[in-house]
A and B are shown apart, each in its own frame.
Chain A
């Protein structure tokens, strides 16, 4: 396989305690730490390992967003991606359009694999890989926790509700990765310097000439109902009594 395309979404860092804006228009992002979606980082790590094993020759990191996403692509380049593409969008873009962007790039680059995170930790939608597989007409292997490339096929272990499911797919294919697939490498300072010289192309969304679906509008954000702190008991006897009080045991 020649190329692997990897998606890197810029999201609010997973350590941030997200706050809903008081006007309900969204969540607070001013001055908040932004990072690569943790699942996407795992997708990139896996793509790099596949390349290092000799099964692919180039890893292309792709982000769709504002020019701020350059930062996440530079981190991806420092991790080891060979080049990066930023598809520039102002404001929101619907998931089906995102899938069409990946399809356009996968076809243009003649990709053997498109690797994405199983979900982005902002919208928690878990849709892009599945949508891409549908419109590209290629196999999907979602929630991957183990990937073995064998010539023109891949064997993928998937984390499903019932346990671990194994499937075999023909390449090219789309994968979405789960947390236990690997542990992403740390970026070293010299790699950051080297990454500055790697190509990062910007393409305005309009140049790709894609059409998504009717968008789903977000009307209002609200904080979730919060749970109240309850009682503390001193010992096992107290715990059993409290459970009996509630009629649970």
Chain B
């Protein structure tokens, strides 16, 4: 039996889909028995959502006021305190998991496997390196605890319909106060979430200004799509940082990705390799984005995008 602990990602009320994706990865390990731990100030709502995920055996809740925000220095010692019962500890490759999991691994004295794309054996996995230009098969020591992050774009969210047991976990360790949460600035929007959306419309440097980037939002709204961007568009201030797609932004796998005025640098392509259909609109027929796109249209985005928005609206 392979006991797996998954660290739930949530915002205090809603469970992030990354958790159900971690469950799919864990379920690919032979004989996996999967627990989810919810660390929160009050965990009931999130725990109830976690208990619905199929293949989950048990949901543990660890409630204390310090857990109100996800501060790694606070959460990691609690995870380490309950790690002893498990042979695998998984978290998502989101910024939450990437911040937390290596810290947990080091507290437990082990290395970490980052970004699991596929499970090849009980301790061997595939993961991307060099901005996804190479895939390496790695093997961790079979006798030691395995801490890993799961590349969320590689896994579907596990289905719902379960009703796993919910229990209070015991992790009464001291936590430090040297790291304090101050606040979160988020461009709240009613649009679909970039990381989980089925359709994404993304704009690049060619949009030229924050105002003209509005063309991307209009097309996205006509399609019911999320909005993404290249690094150049974010750096230029056309849109907020959380929209960046790529090696150092979000790695996504929507069914449809429309890249508008984006050249297709390798660091950007890393973020969209797993997309279903890639559409590219670019005035330069030599742009590298066309080498990976399923449908390409050469032309000026400033005339094409409004026309497309009308046609689809």
B215 in the interface, Cβ–Cβ < 8 Å? no
Bound CA span A201–B57, Å: 54
B48 in the interface, Cβ–Cβ < 8 Å? no
A232 in the interface, Cβ–Cβ < 8 Å? yes
Q: Which of B111, B180, B187 contacts A212 (CB 8 A)?
A: B111
Q: Which of B11, B137, B185, B267 contacts A164 (CB 8 A)?
A: B185
Query: Distance (Å) between the CB of A126 and the closest chain B CB?
Result: 5
Residues of B within 8 A of A214 (CB): 110-111, 140-141, 144
In the complex, the answer to whether A232 meets B297 with C-beta atoms within 8 Å is yes
In the complex, the answer to whether A130 meets B99 with C-beta atoms within 8 Å is yes
A180 in the interface, Cβ–Cβ < 8 Å? yes
B307 in the interface, Cβ–Cβ < 8 Å? yes
Residue in B closest to A168 when the chains form the complex, CB atoms = B180
Q: Which of A132, A220, A238 contacts B297 (CB 8 A)?
A: A238
Report if A180-B241 is in contact (Cβ < 8 Å); known contacts: A124-B129, A130-B72, A133-B73: yes
A169 in the interface, Cβ–Cβ < 8 Å? yes
A105 in the interface, Cβ–Cβ < 8 Å? no
- How many residues on A have C-beta within 8 angstroms of the other chain's C-beta atoms? 83
A15-59 residues with Cβ-Cβ distance < 8 A to B are 17-18, 20, 27
Query: Distance (Å) between the CB of A247 and the closest chain B CB?
Result: 10
Interface of B is mostly: mixed
In the complex, the answer to whether A143 meets B181 with C-beta atoms within 8 Å is no
B63 in the interface, Cβ–Cβ < 8 Å? no
A212-228 residues with Cβ-Cβ distance < 8 A to B are 212-224, 227
B115 in the interface, Cβ–Cβ < 8 Å? yes
B246-278 residues with Cβ-Cβ distance < 8 A to A are 247-248, 250, 255-256, 266-267, 273, 276-278
Q: 3 nearest interchain CB pairs?
A: A163-B186, A230-B294, A134-B106
27 A–B contacts from the bound complex (CB under 8 Å): A95-B111, A95-B112, A96-B111, A99-B106, A123-B129, A133-B72, A134-B107, A135-B107, A162-B242, A163-B184, A163-B185, A165-B181, A165-B184, A167-B180, A169-B179, A179-B231, A214-B110, A216-B140, A218-B136, A222-B137, A224-B132, A227-B292, A232-B295, A235-B299, A239-B295, A242-B295, A246-B277
Report which B residues bind A (CB closer than 8 A).
11, 71-73, 76, 94-96, 98-107, 109-115, 124, 128-141, 144, 176, 178-187, 195, 199, 223, 231, 234-235, 240-242, 247-248, 250, 255-256, 266-267, 273, 276-279, 290-299, 304, 307-308, 311-312
